[in-house]
Structure formats: structure tokens, C-alpha cells
């Protein structure tokens, strides 16, 4: 039942209005003045507000503005005395759906109310559709056919909107940076910077000044003040890639920053507050680095509030062909024909163990596109080394979906019926040989008629 809030400071009008609406089956809440209406709007939700314009001390325009702000889904119809139509038009510019002049005609009121409610429903439906569309398209740049990747995507959707520190594990090329970017993209920080720093790429002093900045004269070559990445990422996300390679001295400094969310530039004396979400990635387990004394345990606990494990590609074979299609689509040009891939090439790709994971697959597809003939990627378009390595691999060894599909190919055209028939023949001839070709004895032993035995022996299929 649609819920309608009515407000008019003339009790007679409010009364008539309510009677009509209630008799039409609506759930009506009456308010004696603008203040009371605002109070109800704050507490409850309504599908429609019908408000008089001329009221004291809070007039209908104020109620309208309040309703638009507090409850944009509520449709609004203004009631106006004859002669104040210009105010009603003004109200429509402020978001009212329509207006009715007093004294109102019964059918005019009914139709306008009905239309306003339908309009509200359409808007709500549209919003729902958009949200659902957003939900299905959200992580559309991350291929996730396998259960493993589906779980990763679920985690991204869940933790992205929070400010939690996330630690991403995954072998080289599994998509750690892609996941980190998605975490930023679907967070409330998306309008601010996503800055990535590779902790393995810079020697200690450089990494320190890169991350925290430095002041002029802090060291030889520091000719001016420099802002660090923490400051640049303020309001956004800082991605610390290969965190396991971070020198211990910088780990301590990072820990302090995480504790007070303040940084101090190298050589500086002042602390600067920073608001940064941290995402870290590693292809080595930090626990084993802790055991080796190469990583601070306290920092590990700070970083690993949420851990996302990206499985290697060999453990999610069902992602391989969808990834191939993803890369083919990504490279497609509108003016060029689409490129497809044949079954044999697909089997080869499914059987390869992909030590370089998704990045290796992406490179292989790039190679294959350059060598594709007749717009098709066949075995000969794939890198010869890859084809050779797969060829040498005995079927069944990979223990995967790929192995299963090549095993299936082995049984192609071999139905259960054909198998049973051949086994039957084998048994019949065995029995016949043992009984020196005596058909009667054989039929007896097999518990079938001699005629059936004859038919079976003469069956050439
Ligand atoms: N699930 C996926 N769907 C689509 N593309 C992917 C997926 N996983 C990885 N990629 C692509 O593979 C490439 C490698 O991914 P990325 O750079 O994120 O990996 P990484 O784990 O950070 O690698 P490295 O350890 O070498 O730094 C990128 O081009 C990325 O877009
Ligand atoms: Mg990376």
C-alpha cells in the first residue's frame, strides 16, 4: 500500500484530502503544519508528499526542499490556492512532481496522485536496474571463471569500501596489481590517487626518500624539498609492491607511520598528518621472511588485517580460455576482423603450466596475434617452445582440467556399447576355444540359446 504524507494548515482541507485518499486505499499520515511534516519525513519513509504551499511559519516550499534532501525517493505534489500558480511552477523547478489548484476536483486529485506514485515506482525500478547492472559489470576487467578467482572478487567487493590494510599474495604475474587497483577503484578513495611503489626496485636510501620525501640538504644531492609518495597519495591509496624486499630500517619507519598516520620527511623536523590506505603485495610468504629475520612481525600484523590469496593460473585452468577471449577482445580494433582460436591451440594453452601466470598468457596471445593466419590462432601461431613443452608432457600428468579434456579426446568415438560388444566377443571366443568349438556346449555354459550364440558369433560390428 502506498504511503502518503499530507500537510495543510487548513484542517477542513486536510480532512477532505485524507478522506478521499483513504477511500482510494492509500495509507495516509496527516500533518497539521510544515514543522510536523518535516518531523514525520525525518522519522518515516513515504512514497508521496502532498503539501500546501501557503503555510505559517514553515511554508510548503521549505517542506519541499526538506523532503528532496532527506528523502529524494518521495514524490511531491503541491497544493496551491488559485492565483499562486507561479509559486507552484517554482516548486516544480525545485523537484515537485506536479501541483493541484484548490479547490481541487476529485478526479484531478486521483489521477495526479496515481501518476506521481507510478513515476516514483519507475524511478525506483530504474535505480534497482542500474545498481544490478553496476554489480554485474563491476569487476568486469578481472576474469574470474574459476572458484578461486570468484572468491578473490568477492573479497575485493567486500573490503574495497573499507579503509582496511590489505595484503595480497600471489606468484609473479597472477594479477596482484590488478587486484590492488580494483580495491582502490571500488573504494571511496577512487577520486584520489592510486600510487604504486616497488620496494624491490630501489636501494634503501632512495626508497626512504621516495616514500617519505626529504628536505633540502638532507643528503648530498637533496637540492630542494621533495614530497614523498605518502604525501602524494593523501586521501588515496598507496600500493607497496614486493613489500618483502623492504629493508628493515624502512619497515620500522613504515610501522611508525601506520601507528600514528604521520610522516616525517628525511632530514625534516616536522610531522605531517597523512590519510592513506595501504595495500601491500608479495610473492613470498611474509611468515617465512619473519622466520629468517628479514621481516618485522609487528609490521606483518599491521599489514595483514585482510589477506587476499591469488591462486597461480595452473590451479585455475577454467580461467585460461576466458582470459584468452578477454585478451583477444581487448586487442580487437573496430576496423579489423575478429580473431578466433582453434580447438587444438586451446588445448595446448590449457595444458601449459604457466609459470609466468596471467602475464605469460597475455604475452603468448600477443605473440599469437602476430602469427595468426586467416584470422585464426592455430598451433603454428603459438610460440614453438610452448607447443614443444606441452607436446612432451605426458597426458594426465598435469592432473588438471586440461589433462581431463585430453583424456576425453582419447575415448572419442568409443561408446560404452562398442566397448561391451568387443569384450563380449573376446569372452565368446575364449569360451569357444576352451570347448573346442562345440557351439551347443558353449551355449549351455553361457546360458543362451544356440541361435543367439550363432547370431553373436556372426555379428561383424
Ligand atoms: N584475472 C585477470 N583478468 C584479466 N586480466 C588479468 C587477470 N589477472 C591478471 N591480469 C593481467 O595480467 C597482467 C599481469 O597482472 P599484474 O601486473 O596485476 O600481476 P602481478 O601479480 O602484479 O605481477 P608481478 O608479480 O609480476 O608484479 C596484467 O596485464 C593484468 O591486467
Ligand atoms: Mg606487480
**DSSP of 176-218, one letter per residue?**
HHHHHHHHHHTSTTTTS-EEEEETTTS-HHHHHHHHHEE-TTS
Q: In CATH, which of 3.40.50.300, 3.30.43.10, 3.40.50.620, 3.40.50.2300 is domain 3-133?
A: 3.40.50.2300
Write the DSSP symbol of residue 266: B
Instruction: Please state whether beta strands 237-241 and 48-52 pair in parallel, antiparallel, or not at all (unpaired).
Output: unpaired
Residue 412 three-state SS = coil
pLDDT at residue 398, rounded to an integer: 43
| Rg over CA atoms, the chain | 37
Please state, in angstroms and rounded to a whole number, the distance separating the CA atoms of residues 112 and 448: 86
Q: Is pLDDT at 399 greater than 70 in this prediction?
A: no
* CB 311 near ligand 1, within 6 Å: no
Q: How far is CA 6 from CA 18, 52, 381, in A?
A: 7, 8, 72
Is residue 262 helix, strand or coil?
strand
Is the pLDDT at 44 greater than 50? The verdict is yes
Decide whether any atom of ligand 1 lies within 6 Å of the 170 Cβ: yes
Of 293-297, 364-368, 425-429, 440-444, where does mean pLDDT reach its minimum?
Answer: 425-429
Residue 77 has pLDDT above 60, yes or no: yes
From the CA of 183, how far away is ligand 1's center (Å)?
14
Confidence check: pLDDT of 393 > 60: no
Q: For the domain bounded by 147-309, which CATH number is listed?
A: 3.40.50.300
Per-residue exposure over 432-451, b if at least 16 CB sit within 10 Å of its own CB, e if not: beeeeeeeeebbeebeeeee
What is the distance between the terminal CA atoms of the chain, rounded to a whole angstrom?
A: 72
Q: Is the CB of 277 under 6 A from ligand 1?
A: no
Most confidently predicted of 302-306, 438-442, 445-449 = 302-306
Q: Residue 404's pLDDT band (boundaries 50, 70, 90)?
A: low
Contact 340, 349 (CB under 8 A): no
Maximum mean pLDDT: which of 78-92, 337-351, 414-428: 337-351
Going by pLDDT thresholds of 50, 70 and 90, the confidence category of residue 397 is very low
CA of 320 to the centre of ligand 1 (A): 13
359 CA distance to ligand 1 middle (Å):
6
Q: How confident is the model at residue 435 (pLDDT cuts 50, 70, 90)?
A: confident
Q: Where are the domains of the chain?
A: 3-133, 147-309, 314-410, 416-458
Residue closest via CA to ligand 1's atom 23 equals 173
Q: Which of 460, 430, 422 is nearest to 446 (CA)?
A: 430
Which option is the CATH number for 416-458: 1.10.10, 3.10.450, 1.25.40, 3.30.70?
1.10.10
Q: Tally Cβ neighbours within 10 Å of residue 288.
A: 11
78 bridge partner residues? 51, 99
Angle in degrees, 0-180, between the axes of helices 106-137 and 11-23, rounded to the nearest 10? 70
**pLDDT class for 115, splitting at 50, 70, 90?**
very high
CA 10 to chain CA centroid, Å, is: 54
Q: What is the pLDDT of residues 256-285, one digit of tens each?
A: 999 999 999 999 999 999 999 999 999 999
In angstroms, the Cα distances linking 212 to 64, 188, 240 are 50, 24, 13
Nearest to 208 by CA among 193, 223, 218: 218
In this structure, the residue with its CA closest to atom 31 of ligand 1 is: 178
314-410, which class in CATH? mainly alpha
Band (419; pLDDT cuts 50, 70, 90): low
Can you tell me the distance from the alpha carbon of 166 to that of 303, in angstroms, rounded to the nearest whole number? 6
For position 374, what pLDDT does the model report?
93
Residue 132 is given by DSSP the state H
Across 414-433, average pLDDT = 73
Which residue lies with its CA nearest to atom 18 of ligand 1?
A: 175
Q: Which ligand is nearest to the CA of 240?
A: 2
Distance, in Å, from the CA atom of 279 to the CA atom of 257, rounded to the nearest integer, reads: 14
State the virtual CA torsion across 426, 428, 430, 431 in degrees, nearest 10. 160
Which of 136-140, 315-319, 375-379, 434-438 comes out lowest in average pLDDT? 136-140
The candidate with the shortest Cα–Cα distance to 114, out of 16, 13, 205, 2, is 2
Per-residue pLDDT, 184 = 95
**Dihedral over alpha carbons 33, 39, 42, 46 (to 10 degrees):** -40
- Does residue 177 have its Cβ closer than 6 Å to ligand 1? yes
Ligand 1, residue 198: give the atom nearest the CA.
27
Question: Phi, psi (5° rounding) for residue 406?
Answer: -75, -30
With CA atoms as reference, report the closest residue to 171 among 396, 375, 345, 361.
Answer: 361
Whether the CB-CB separation of 295 and 181 falls below 8 Å is answered with: no
Ligand 2 center–CA 197 separation, angstroms? 10
Rounded (to 5) percent helix, strand, coil in the chain: 50, 15, 35
Would you say residue 460 has pLDDT above 80?
no
**Rounded Cα distance, 182 and 142, in Å:** 9
Q: Taking all residues of the chain, what is their mean pLDDT, rounded to a whole number?
A: 89
Q: Fold identical between 3-133 and 147-309?
A: yes
Determine the Cα–Cα distance for residues 220 and 212; give it in Å rounded to an integer: 17
Amino acid at each position: 500500500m502506498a504511503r502518503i504524507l499530507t500537510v495543510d494548515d487548513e484542517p477542513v482541507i486536510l480532512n477532505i484530502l485524507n478522506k478521499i485518499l483513504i477511500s482510494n486505499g492509500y495509507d495516509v499520515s496527516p500533518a497539521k503544519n510544515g514543522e510536523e511534516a518535516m518531523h514525520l519525513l525525518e522519522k518515516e519513509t513515504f512514497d508521496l508528499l502532498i503539501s500546501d504551499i501557503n503555510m505559517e511559519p514553515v511554508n510548503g516550499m521549505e517542506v519541499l526542499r526538506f523532503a528532496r534532501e532527506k528523502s529524494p525517493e518521495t514524490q511531491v505534489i503541491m497544493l496551491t490556492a488559485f492565483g499562486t500558480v507561479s509559486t507552484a511552477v517554482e516548486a516544480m523547478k525545485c523537484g515537485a512532481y506536479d501541483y493541484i489548484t484548490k479547490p481541487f476536483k476529485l478526479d484531478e486529485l486521483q489521477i495526479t496522485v496515481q501518476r506521481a506514485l507510478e513515476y516514483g515506482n519507475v524511478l525506483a525500478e530504474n535505480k534497482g536496474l542500474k545498481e544490478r547492472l553496476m554489480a554485474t559489470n563491476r569487476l568486469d576487467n578481472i576474469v574470474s571463471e574459476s572458484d578461486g578467482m570468484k572468491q578473490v572478487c568477492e573479497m575485493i567487493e567486500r573490503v574495497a569500501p573499507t579503509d582496511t590494510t590489505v595484503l595480497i599474495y600471489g606468484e609473479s604475474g597472477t594479477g596482484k596489481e590488478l587486484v590492488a587497483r580494483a580495491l582502490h577503484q571500488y573504494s571511496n578513495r577512487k577520486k584520489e590517487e592510486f600510487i604504486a611503489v616497488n620496494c624491490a626496485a630501489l636501494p634503501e636510501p632512495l626508497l626512504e626518500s621516495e616514500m617519505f620525501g626529504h628536505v633540502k640538504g638532507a643528503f648530498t644531492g637533496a637540492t630542494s624539498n621533495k614530497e614523498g609518495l605518502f604525501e602524494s597519495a593523501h586521501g588515496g591509496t598507496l600500493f607497496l609492491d614486493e613489500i618483502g624486499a623492504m629493508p628493515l630500517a624502512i619497515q620500522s619507519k613504515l610501522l611508525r607511520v601506520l601507528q600514528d598516520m604521520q610522516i616525517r620527511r628525511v632530514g625534516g623536523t616536522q610531522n605531517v598528518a597523512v590519510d592513506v590506505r595501504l595495500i601491500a603485495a608479495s610473492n613470498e610468504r611474509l611468515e617465512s621472511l619473519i622466520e629468517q629475520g628479514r621481516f618485522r612481525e609487528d609490521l606483518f600484523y599491521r599489514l595483514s588485517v585482510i589477506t587476499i590469496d591469488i591462486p597461480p593460473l595452473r590451479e585455475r585452468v577454467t580461467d585460461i580460455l576466458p582470459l584468452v577471449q578477454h585478451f583477444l577482445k581487448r586487442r580487437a580494433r573496430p576496423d579489423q576482423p575478429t580473431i578466433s582460436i582453434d580447438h587444438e591451440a586451446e588445448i595446448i594453452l590449457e595444458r601449459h603450466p604457466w609459470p609466468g601466470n596471467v602475464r605469460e598468457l597475455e604475452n603468448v596471445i600477443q605473440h599469437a596475434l602476430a602469427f595468426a593466419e586467416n584470422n585464426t590462432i592455430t598451433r603454428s601461431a603459438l610460440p614453438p617452445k610452448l607447443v614443444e613443452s606441452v607436446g612432451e608432457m605426458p597426458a594426465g600428468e598435469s592432473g588438471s582440467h586440461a589433462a581431463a579434456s585430453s583424456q576425453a579426446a582419447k575415448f572419442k568415438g568409443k561408446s560404452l556399447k562398442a566397448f561391451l560388444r568387443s569384450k563380449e566377443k573376446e569372452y565368446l571366443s575364449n569360451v569357444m576355444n576352451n570347448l573346442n568349438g562345440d557351439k551347443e556346449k558353449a551355449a549351455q555354459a553361457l546360458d543362451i540359446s544356440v541361435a543367439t550364440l550363432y547370431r553373436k558369433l556372426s555379428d561383424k560390428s
